[in-house]
C-alpha cells in the first residue's frame, strides 16, 4: 500500500472459517521455547507491513520498530547483566534475560507518542499495544509462534538508554518470533459472562 493507493476501495470483509479457527486457538509461546526456523528478512518485512496496519487515532503512527537479531540481543543481555544485579530480586532479574535471547528474531515495539492537541497519550499507548497484537497475528499468519515480553528492563531508565529509547517513549513489547517444537497448552480464559454487560 502506497500513497498512490489512497482512496482505492478495499474489499469488504467476508466470513473466513480459517481465520476464525486460528483466532479461536491463538496462543502465545513461552519465549525460551521459540526456536528455528524464524522469519527471513523478507518475512519480517511482511510482518511489519501487516502489523503496522493498525488503528491509530489521528494517523499519528506513534510507534517505531527495532528488529533485533541474535547478536544484538546477546550484546544487550550482556550489557543488562550489571543492571540486573541492582534490581530487587536480582536472581530472577538475571534469569529472565534468557527470554531475551532465545528466539530467532525479535521485534521491539517502542511507543513513541506524538505531540497532539487532539489525541491523548493514553490512546497512543493503546495503539502501540494494538500494533504488538497485530504483529503477533501477522507472524501467526506466516506460520510462526510469538511471545510478547516486557520484563524489568522495559522500565529501567539505564536499560532504556542502552536500547536508545528516549525520554517520553516506552517499550510496548519485545515480540519474540520463532517456531515451537511442541504444541502449546491451553491456559485459563476469562469468564465472559462475568465481564460482559449486555444492554439493549
Q: Which is nearer to ligand FMN, 84 or 149 (CB)?
A: 149
27 binds ligand FMN (CB under 6 A): yes
CA dihedral defined by 29, 35, 36, 38, rounded to 10 degrees? 40
Give the strand order in the sheet containing 63-68. Answer: 63-68, 105-111, 170-178, 145-149
Which residues within the stretch 28-87 sit at the binding site for ligand FMN (CB under 6 A)? 28
By CB under 6 A, name the one of 77, 148, 169, 177 that touches ligand FMN.
148
Q: Which is nearer to ligand FMN, 26 or 57 (CB)?
A: 26
- Helix, strand, coil percentages in the chain from 3-state DSSP, rounded to 5: 40, 15, 45
Identify the helix (H) or strand (E) that includes residue 123: helix 121-141
22 binds ligand FMN (CB under 6 A): no
Stretch that binds ligand FMN, among 16-24, 41-49, 61-69, 149-157 (CB under 6 A): 149-157
> Three cell numbers at 146?
510469538
By CB under 6 A, name the one of 119, 149, 160, 177 that touches ligand FMN.
149
Q: Which is nearer to ligand FMN, 56 or 151 (CB)?
A: 151
**Residue 179: strand pairing partners:** 35
**Residue 92: strand pairing partners:** none
134 binds ligand FMN (CB under 6 A): no
User: Does residue 7 come out as left (phi exceeding 0), alpha (psi in the -120 to 50 range) or beta?
Assistant: left
Could you give the string, one character per residue 166-185, with x where binding to ligand FMN holds by CB under 6 A and - elsewhere?
A: -------x------------
- Binding residues for ligand FMN (CB under 6 A): 27-28, 147-151, 173, 187
Amino acid at each position: 500500500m502506497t500513497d498512490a493507493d489512497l482512496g482505492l476501495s478495499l474489499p469488504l470483509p467476508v466470513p473466513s472459517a480459517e481465520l476464525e479457527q486460528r483466532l479461536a486457538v491463538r496462543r502465545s509461546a513461552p519465549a525460551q521455547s521459540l526456536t528455528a526456523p524464524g522469519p527471513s528478512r523478507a518475512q519480517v518485512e511482511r510482518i511489519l507491513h501487516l502489523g503496522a496496519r493498525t488503528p491509530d487515532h489521528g494517523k499519528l503512527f506513534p510507534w517505531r520498530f527495532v528488529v533485533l537479531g541474535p547478536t544484538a540481543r546477546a550484546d544487550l543481555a550482556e550489557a543488562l547483566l550489571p543492571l540486573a544485579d541492582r534490581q530487587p530480586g536480582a536472581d530472577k532479574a538475571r534469569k529472565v534475560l534468557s527470554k531475551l535471547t532465545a528466539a530467532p528474531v525479535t521485534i521491539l515495539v517502542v511507543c513513541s507518542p506524538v505531540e497532539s492537541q487532539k489525541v491523548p497519550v493514553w490512546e497512543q499507548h493503546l495503539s502501540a499495544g494494538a500494533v504488538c497484537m497485530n504483529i503477533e497475528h501477522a507472524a501467526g499468519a506466516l506460520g510462526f509462534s510469538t511471545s510478547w515480553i516486557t520484563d524489568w528492563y522495559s522500565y529501567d531508565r539505564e536499560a532504556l538508554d542502552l536500547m536508545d529509547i528516549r525520554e517520553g517513549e516506552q517499550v510496548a513489547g519485545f515480540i519474540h518470533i520463532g517456531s515451537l517444537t511442541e504444541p502449546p497448552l491451553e491456559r485459563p480464559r476469562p469468564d465472559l459472562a462475568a465481564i460482559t454487560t449486555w444492554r439493549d
